[in-house]
Amino acid sequence: SIASADMDLNQLEAFLTAQTKKQGGITSDQAAVIAKFWKNHRTSIHESLINQSRWDNVLKNVNWRVDLKSQLRHIDQINTPVAIVEMEVGKNGQ
């Protein structure tokens, strides 16, 4: 729960306090150890979760524009916006 929510220190404290008050929860000593571990390893745990959830391909670049048609056979199609999106996808780390 702590890692998936990427809890900050205030959220962590509230969560651990609730866990110590819960029937069959953790002790205050266990909460202190968990808090210390999370403070020291939060960044690496978060990066590991991101890497595990990422697909092989990553988005490298996005280009987009909106065009308005000014000449068409039918008058009702003039000034109809058209979005053009170009996405470049590549392998992670390349």
Taking each helix axis from N to C terminus, what angle separates 9-21 and 28-53, rounded to the nearest 10 degrees?
130
Over range 21-28, report the average pLDDT: 91
pLDDT, tens digit, 9 for 90 and up, residues 64-83: 998 877 776 777 666 778 88
- Listed in sequence order, the residues at least 6 apart from 78 whose beta carbon sits closer than 8 Å to its beta carbon are 69, 70, 71, 72
Does 48 have pLDDT greater than 80? yes
Select from 3, 1, 94, 87 the least CA-distant residue to 43: 3
Does pTM top 0.75 for this prediction? no
Q: What are phi and psi of 55, to 5 degrees?
A: -75, 175
- Listed in sequence order, the residues at least 6 apart from 52 whose beta carbon sits closer than 8 Å to its beta carbon are none
